[in-house]
Structure 1
């Protein structure tokens, strides 16, 4: 009886403070609210409080995971808010203790981690990343283990733990499974890990270390360039173009805004493998222009990002912070005010 009373009290309190109820699948929602909606539903699914999953086959689950990856690459956050929590609940409900089911769950949690990193929810991100790490180890899939380590390194870097983030990324990159393999996917994953370590070096103020590690990643990408796109679902793929994209954010993180803008000029956004990576190009360029004090160029890059990926632009906290900064630090214009409104900034 006491438990029911407590739950009722909590429900009433939440209803009084949280505003309108969550939009259910199939109902419209503002793009600016997509991030919060996704976080709420993923949180409930991770806590086992989501909707009852369906009884589906392993093949159907794999198709659902592929669809979720496509939505991520296309920056369709509202679709992910519908699909991703249910996919997680169903994958757990149908897990049979085999390495195959563990591998699928590891991939789901890795995708969730990437989404939570974008939405700046580090608490849930750590939970998802750790689950991905444990499941990947149990599945005995070196690529999944390495990618889970990369996400852990990203979260450690965001927490300001630069030494730990560097150690995680470089230890994973130097694992014999990645350095000795003839499978080109392993080489590409090593390149992604070196990129992660390079960005950590940049955030720690080590520009020389960042450029050395980025050069190593670029050498791997050049060697793989003649082949097919590798690891599309791990960071959007690994190509010379994605390494050049990484240079933009790494250079401005290291304090060289001019080098960041120069790196952007050397890259054709159309050559990037996914919409998500193209949106990243324009938001990184916007940040570089903002740091250089070039407001008009910053706004132009943000509007280009919005044209490519409106839900990404409207929902990401980092982008909204940048728009907010433009609003309060200088003159405004109708295009800026319009972008702010579409981002839910009033």
Structure 2
């Protein structure tokens, strides 16, 4: 008698989806995942993560995650790697200044500190460690300034406080408590609204959209981005480059948000961003905090193609893009991860391993805390051909990827 193997998590998802009468595309739209992600979870090309399971469960009629993972699977809610500085950042975010005294830092000093922190984020190979060192002090200084200054200096300080919260969100995105990420979004938006600064408000909408998209609320993300566009567009023709930079970044965020729901309309938003960058920004322009630039537009084209499940288009878009031209070490590392995702979609395991190794060499912390990189490295360590399995296992150990 042949023992029957228990169904995999992907097979469980597929059976439940069919039972409730949903197509892969419909389930993807309901859950906020891309159709490609649902397809690859079902066929075993992608692991079912806890986050994806939580997004899928309500639409599959699942109330117990054992229905997806199996009754013998133990899930750890602390499974995501956490950066050592998270506790210090958490304390800074939850240290309310009830009584504030003394002289606040001047807005021009704070602007320099905020800009320096963002510059470090984009140029350091260990951006999370560097950001974790400066964030507690930066949050404290900008919080105090927003409380103690008055008039225009207070409005400027509030806009800079919003930027400090945005940096905290970028730091926490892959390894902080979800509640802390929501706290940074809410605080950043509140500071921007109090500043009554359209640019600060639009930037806060951009950051809010990223978190809304990550939890499957893509329609809300697109609504917030549309509101931000309405604030920015009237100023682009007569304003400075920062207005055009913000408009391009909003279009890019909309493109990626649509791509992650399988919406081909992503290319229209992407093309709108390309036109803004080419027509309204000087050649060679690079945004200090956002890194909006012509190479970044090309990076987003690769990301959109990957999320739309088109590895051939992703490779075509990537062919003419020199990674060295990407004006951010962190974004360059993420670009290699996206190229690895494209190779993974195509079933090219050797190329996937090569690209993940390049990503690690570029920005080790980007790979260590990227859920996509962790998933690919873990699967390669288990399933890669024998010729590269040892190398894959070494990579997985270096970045602490789960290996099953």
For normalisation by structure 2, the TM-score amounts to: 0.71
Task: State how far apart, in whole Å, the 2-side matches of 1:63 and 1:215 are.
Answer: 33
Q: Please give the secondary structure, in 1, of the residue aligned with 2:173.
A: helix
Q: Is the 8 A contact 1:120 1:317 kept in 2?
A: no
What's the CA shift for 1:329?
2.8
In terms of mean alpha carbon deviation, does 240-249 or 76-85 score higher?
76-85
Does the alignment pair 1:328 with 2:382? Answer: yes
1:41-93 Cα deviation digits (max 9, x unpaired): 2222111189xx99773354434323321221124221222211222123223
Gaps of 5+ in 2: 1-77
Q: Give the 3 Å change call, closer, same or farther, for CA 94–162 of structure 1 in structure 2.
A: closer
Aligned to 2:13: none
Q: Please give the secondary structure, in 2, of the residue aligned with 1:223.
A: helix
1:216-236 Cα deviation digits (max 9, x unpaired): 1111111145345242202xx
What's the CA shift for 1:240?
1.9
Does the alignment pair 1:71 with 2:120? Answer: yes
Does the alignment pair 1:189 with 2:237? Answer: no
Q: Give the 3 Å change call, closer, same or farther, for CA 120–286 of structure 1 in structure 2.
A: farther
Q: Give the 3 Å change call, closer, same or farther, for CA 102–162 of structure 1 in structure 2.
A: same
Aligned-residue RMSD, C-alpha: 2.7
Q: Please give the secondary structure, in 1, of the residue aligned with 2:85.
A: helix
Q: 1:243 aligns with which of 294, 297, 319?
A: 297
In terms of mean alpha carbon deviation, does 285-294 or 133-142 score higher?
133-142
Q: 2:105 aligns with which of 54, 57, 68?
A: 57
Task: State how far apart, in whole Å, the 2-side matches of 1:170 and 1:179 are.
Answer: 15
Q: 2:257 aligns with which of 176, 200, 222?
A: 200
What's the CA shift for 1:182?
2.8
- Which structure has the highest helix share of the two? 1
Does the alignment pair 1:283 with 2:331? Answer: no
Q: Is the 8 A contact 1:100 1:139 kept in 2?
A: yes
Q: 1:103 aligns with which of 124, 139, 159?
A: 159
Q: 1:300 aligns with which of 354, 365, 371?
A: 354
Q: 2:279 aligns with which of 217, 223, 246?
A: 223
What's the CA shift for 1:336?
1.8
Which has the larger Rg? 2
Q: 2:364 aligns with which of 301, 310, 313?
A: 310
Aligned to 2:321: 267
Q: How does 1:117-196 map to 2 (within 5 A)?
A: 117-119=173-175, 121-175=177-231, 176-196=233-253
Q: 1:48 aligns with which of 76, 95, 104?
A: 95
Task: State how far apart, in whole Å, the 2-side matches of 1:293 and 1:55 are.
Answer: 60
Q: Give the 3 Å change call, closer, same or farther, for CA 281–216 of structure 1 in structure 2.
A: same
Q: Is the 8 A contact 1:105 1:135 kept in 2?
A: yes
In terms of mean alpha carbon deviation, does 139-148 or 290-299 score higher?
139-148
Task: State how far apart, in whole Å, the 2-side matches of 1:181 and 1:321 are.
Answer: 46
Task: State how far apart, in whole Å, the 2-side matches of 1:38 and 1:181 are.
Answer: 42
Task: State how far apart, in whole Å, the 1-side matches of 2:286 and 2:111 are.
Answer: 19
Q: Please give the secondary structure, in 2, of the residue aligned with 1:37.
A: coil
Does the alignment pair 1:232 with 2:288? Answer: yes
What's the CA shift for 1:199?
1.1
Gaps of 5+ in 1: 1-18, 20-31
What's the CA shift for 1:122?
3.3
Task: State how far apart, in whole Å, the 2-side matches of 1:173 and 1:286 are.
Answer: 32
Q: Give the 3 Å change call, closer, same or farther, for CA 201–120 of structure 1 in structure 2.
A: farther
Aligned to 1:10: none
Q: Please give the secondary structure, in 1, of the residue aligned with 2:141.
A: helix
Task: State how far apart, in whole Å, the 2-side matches of 1:79 and 1:184 are.
Answer: 28
Aligned to 1:29: none
What's the CA shift for 1:297?
0.6
